[in-house]
Amino acid sequence: MSVQRCGWCSNDPLYMDYHDQEWGKPEYKEARLFEMLCLEGQQAGLSWITVLKKRESYRQHFFQYPIADIAQLTDQQLEHKLSDTGLIRHIGKLKAIRDNAIAWQNLKDQGYDMSQWLWETVQQQPIINDVADYRQAPAQTERSLQLSKRLKKHGFKFVGPTTCYAFMQAVGMVNDHENHCSFRS
């Protein structure tokens, strides 16, 4: 039996691995949730494959470190990162990673379990949608709009409702694998 993938997945091995191993699978680890929220924000105006190809550089610069350490980065340190072509060289997007770490840390300091807090968006249960064709999946939903508003209220950046929906898909809060996809659960 041949493997069937969603129509958006190209034959790029990096993309296929992401589709097969990560996208749509429930993720609860705080560090991974933070990484995916920030990476989805980096995508704004770009294709996901662009971000995916730069993910290792982002991990080296940011996501191998505790969120509390990312929150301590200075503007000067972030501006220095603009010289690395392995990153999307947009100072606003790089500052958003730091600002999101600050916001994340502030919520944790208030006693929030960030995984539970984010997963409240879907009442702690993945939503499995009926998707015949990926082009029929929404770009945003009422739930992604609610998540966007909650995040922005607490100081998160680059978290509009479309970015939030892509995040929800990426971390398995929403499963939008096409009906025929071998990786639909």
Q: Find the catalytic residue in 18, 28, 65, 134.
A: 18
Q: Per residue of the chain (185 residues), what is the pLDDT tens digit?
A: 689 999 999 999 999 999 999 999 999 999 999 999 999 999 999 999 999 999 999 999 999 999 999 999 999 999 999 999 999 999 999 999 999 999 999 999 999 999 999 999 999 999 999 999 999 999 999 999 999 999 999 999 999 999 999 999 999 999 999 999 999 97
- Catalytic residue check, 104: no
Q: What is d(CA 117, CA 101) in angstroms, rounded to the nearest whole number?
A: 15
pLDDT score of 1: 65
CB within 8 A of 72, min separation 6: which ones?
none
> What residues form the annotated binding site for Zn(2+)?
6, 19, 177, 181
| 89, 79 contact by CB (below 8 A) | no
Query: What are 134's two structure tokens?
Result: 């990926």
Any idea which fold 26-175 has?
Answer: Endonuclease III; domain 1 (1.10.340)
Cα distances (angstroms) measured from residue 87 to each of 61, 90, 171: 9, 9, 22
Q: Find the catalytic residue in 40, 104, 119, 178.
A: 40
- Catalytic residue check, 56: no
Q: Find the catalytic residue in 8, 28, 30, 48.
A: 48
